[in-house]
Amino acid sequence: MRELIEKIVEEGEVLSEHVLKVDRFLNHQVDPVLMKRIGETFAKTFQNESVTKVLTLESSGISPALMTAYALRVPLLIARKRKSLTLQNDLYTAKVYSFTKQEEIEISVSRSLLHEDDHVVIIDDFLANGQAALGLTEIVKQANAKVAGIGIVIEKAFQDGGTLLRNRGFRVVSLARIASLQGGKVQFAEEVVC
Ligand code: G4P
Ligand code: NA
Ligand code: NA
């Protein structure tokens, strides 16, 4: 997506070979005009999937996910994160291990908000090792609902998440794919949509 790539070039900061900081428009300060365009692009991408719900994980996924849900005119469901959870029968839960943070968290969604007739688009800001997105697909599976697709704002294609999810048969659409952050420079992989 052209506007997003331009924004990353202009305002993204390469923190290391593995981390791109996008606090000026996505993770801390949010550009609402760009988010609206991102939402419209995801909505168009998944328009033939009879989507009934958008699912994301708090907190940085919420901005693009909300605009996607708005464009599709369906509810946004925000999975919650907790360090550890006592067993709660009214929740779907999945464990998510973060390689970056080296910690395991539990994510959860109320059973009352996800049903077997739901067609769910999963949206997140970053795709690195894919553990967050995978955990969200597990929650959808527990509800016997369908994953209509996974929309990612920025995929770090040099990490394993994209391959992991695509090998499992999920349709993953990323609006910007980064091939490398080496030498303090953002190098993009081929553009996928719009
Ligand atoms: P994974 O889910 O793909 O396996 O990723 P990982 O555990 O490595 O990511 C941990 C957190 O770091 C996630 O945010 C993720 O969005 C974020 N992240 C991963 N790579 C980058 C990057 O290059 N730049 C930035 N800015 N963030 C990155 P989180 O812990 O879920 O927190 P939140 O920001 O959503 O609240
Ligand atoms: Na995130
Ligand atoms: Na994040």
* pTM (two decimals): 0.96
128 annotated to bind ligand: yes
- pLDDT classification of 35: cutoffs 50, 70, 90: very high
Residue 111 confidence (pLDDT):
96
Does residue 85 have a pLDDT over 70? no
CA distance 32 to 17: 28
CA of 158 to the centre of ligand 1 (A): 14
**Residue with CA closest to ligand 1 atom 7:** 98
CA distance 187 to 190: 10
27 annotated to bind ligand: yes
Residue 87 confidence (pLDDT):
67
- pLDDT classification of 104: cutoffs 50, 70, 90: very high
Give, for ligand 1, the residue of 15, 82, 99, 100 to mutate: max count of ligand atoms closer than 8 Å to Cβ. 100
Q: In the chain, what is the straight-line distance between the N-terminal and C-terminal CA atoms, in Å?
A: 5
Q: Which of 54-63, 95-104, 123-132, 143-152 has the lowest mean pLDDT?
A: 95-104
Ligand nearest to the backbone CA of 58: 1
Residue 89 confidence (pLDDT):
83
Report the candidate in 161, 151, 184 with the shortest Cα–Cα distance to residue 18. Answer: 184
Ligand nearest to the backbone CA of 19: 1
* Mean pLDDT, the chain, whole residue set: 95
Residue 78 confidence (pLDDT):
98
Mean pLDDT of 64-90: 90
The residue behind tokens 């070979």 is 17
Structural domains of the chain sorted by starting position, each given as residue range(s) with its CATH number in brackets: 2-188 (3.40.50.2020)
CA of 125 to the centre of ligand 2 (A): 5
CA of 141 to the centre of ligand 3 (A): 24
**Residue with CA closest to ligand 1 atom 24:** 20
Tokens of 111: 């059973």
